């Protein structure tokens, strides 16, 4: 029988997110690392929460698969233990904090964005882009979110695309270096360069040093949109979670630059949340497109068919799509320069 229950799930979706975000803000999952158990009675001492709020929070987190019952208390679920404990290689809390602090309230006005076709998280009249801000804390939160989303996505990409034959990777708009860190760790013969804005390169340098890869990963300050050409000397060029930020014309120009920068036999990789060709889903890609309405001037999510068309027009051949499951991408579209 058809019921409105799925609609109720949509209506209350924000309850799940805000519960999750509150638990991350309290650093609940880091406190429970290593199999530690916390009871509701312990919560006031540990978290500063009275009995009723603690009981409600723990119950809700258990219902969401973030905690599990252990005798009289609660402990991390395997999911939380792997991805929500600070310091773990694939810590995902940065993405949670960013969405809570940066995008949650602007999303309340998404109807305004639909009517006006303007971003809500920044003002194009006063800022060059969403990636430039005078608020250093907000900037750090943004890049930490991108890192926490990208590091596991890079792992999924590395498991799906064989980069062993290649030697030098250029990560265009590479942020704080998550993809090169993960991919160079997986492929010993690979070195990499992160191309991004100067202040972003400073952040990447710190992440790269912490990973012990300063001898194999370099940073190059630049602007891939306004620079006349991309740096040469690389046989793999990566565009990870980049093209959804821009309109079709901008993306075609960037792919033309990518073609010019690569040698014969070079590989371009577009890693994204890909839409289905009929534009009916999947939901993560479609909803990321809505987020691009909130966050960008011309961005949207595209299908692998669209990317394949643009790659072919730029001169790439042997275009193919590989699929995987990760928070930042559900696949990659690859092309080779003949």
Identify whether the C-beta of residue 295 lies closer than 8 Å to the C-beta of residue 324.
Answer: no
Of the chain, the end-to-end C-alpha distance in Å amounts to: 56
- Cα 335 from Cα 319, distance rounded (Å): 4
The active-site residue out of 108, 199, 234, 244 is 244
244 has catalytic annotation:
yes
- Cα 246 from Cα 250, distance rounded (Å): 6
Q: How far is CA 156 from CA 96, 149, 235, 259, 268, in A?
A: 20, 11, 21, 25, 17
DSSP string covering 164-227, please?
TT--EEEEET-TTSHHHHHHHHH-TT-EEEEEE-HHHHHHHHHHHHHTT-TTTEEEEE--TTTS
Structure tokens at 105: 């309230």
- Cα 32 from Cα 25, distance rounded (Å): 14
Element (H, E) at 321: strand 317-323
Closest CA to 265 of 303, 317, 328: 317
Angle at 215 between CA 212 and CA 216, to 5 degrees: 95
* Inter-axis angle of helices 178-186 and 136-160, nearest 10: 30
* Inter-axis angle of helices 13-25 and 51-63, nearest 10: 120
Locus of tokens 């730029």: 314
Catalytic residue IDs: 244
């Amino acid at each position: 029988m058809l019921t409105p229950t799925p609609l109720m799930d949509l209506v209350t979706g924000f309850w799940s997110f805000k519960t999750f975000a509150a638990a991350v803000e309290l650093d609940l999952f880091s406190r429970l690392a290593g199999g530690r158990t916390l009871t509701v009675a312990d919560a006031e001492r540990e978290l500063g929460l009275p009995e009723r709020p603690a009981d409600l929070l723990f119950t809700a987190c258990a219902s969401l698969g973030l905690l599990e019952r252990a005798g009289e208390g609660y402990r991390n679920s395997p999911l939380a233990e792997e991805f929500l404990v600070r310091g773990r290689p694939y810590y995902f809390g940065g993405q949670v904090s960013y969405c809570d602090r940066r995008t949650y309230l602007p999303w309340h006005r998404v109807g305004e964005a639909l009517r006006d076709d303007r971003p809500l998280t920044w003002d194009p009249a006063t800022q060059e882009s969403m990636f430039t801000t005078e608020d250093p804390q907000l900037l750090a939160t943004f890049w930490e979110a991108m890192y926490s989303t990208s590091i596991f996505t890079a792992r999924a990409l590395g498991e799906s695309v064989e980069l062993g034959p290649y030697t030098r990777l250029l990560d265009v708009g590479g942020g704080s270096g998550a993809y090169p860190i993960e991919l160079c760790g997986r492929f010993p013969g690979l070195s990499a360069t992160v191309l991004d804005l100067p202040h972003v390169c400073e952040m990447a340098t710190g992440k790269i040093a912490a990973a012990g890869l300063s001898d194999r990963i370099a940073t190059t300050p630049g602007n891939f949109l306004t620079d006349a050409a991309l740096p040469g000397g690389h046989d793999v060029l990566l565009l990870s979670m980049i093209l959804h930020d821009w309109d079709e014309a901008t993306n075609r120009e960037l792919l033309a630059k990518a073609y010019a920068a690569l040698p014969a036999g070079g590989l371009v990789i577009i890693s994204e949340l890909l839409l289905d060709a009929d534009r009916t889903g999947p939901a993560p890609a479609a909803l990321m497109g809505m987020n691009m309405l909130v966050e960008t001037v011309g961005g949207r999510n595209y299908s692998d068919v669209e990317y394949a068309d643009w790659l072919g027009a730029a001169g790439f051949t042997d275009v193919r799509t590989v699929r995987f499951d990760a928070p930042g991408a559900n696949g990659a579209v690859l092309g080779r320069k003949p």
